[in-house]
Amino acid sequence: MPEETKLEEVLRLTLESLKEKEYSTETLLRYQKKFHVVNSLAQNKGISEPSDKLFQEYLSDNKNKYTGKYSVLKERQRQAVRKSCIILTYMI
């Protein structure tokens, strides 16, 4: 079994922490999906540790391709991910 990367470890520990704080199942699933996307992006780029560059790239990928702006829903998602990124940065 391959050893988990620093990013995977931080994402796993963050989810475990949210579970311990009794976040709802729906909230945990939303975070898990977003973390999966971040991790997939990192793997595609060959990145194994959390970084501002990785998080900025993830966030920039969520803009509307026609307007270059975030929809209201995307803006809420972006803020949730930004909050996650801040949490992850402090855990490093």
Mean pLDDT of the chain: 79
Q: Residue 75 falls within a domain, yes or no? A: yes
Q: Residue 77 falls within a domain, yes or no? A: yes
Of 43 and 63, more confident: 43
Q: Residue 33 falls within a domain, yes or no? A: yes
- pTM exceeding 0.75: no
Q: Residue 67 falls within a domain, yes or no? A: yes
Q: Which residues of 23-50 are buried (b: 16+ CB within 10 A; e: fewer)?
A: eeeeeeeebeebbeebbeebeeeebeeb
Of 68 and 14, more confident: 14
Question: How many separate domains does the chain show?
Answer: 1
Q: Residue 1 falls within a domain, yes or no? A: no
Question: How many other CB atoms are there within 10 angstroms of residue 67's CB atom?
Answer: 8
Q: Which amino acid is at 47?
A: I
In the predicted model, is pLDDT for residue 45 greater than 70?
A: yes
Q: Residue 54 falls within a domain, yes or no? A: yes
Domain containing 11: what range?
Answer: 6-91
Q: Residue 22 falls within a domain, yes or no? A: yes
Beta strands in 1-92 (DSSP E): none
pLDDT band at residue 80 using 50, 70 and 90 as cut-offs:
confident
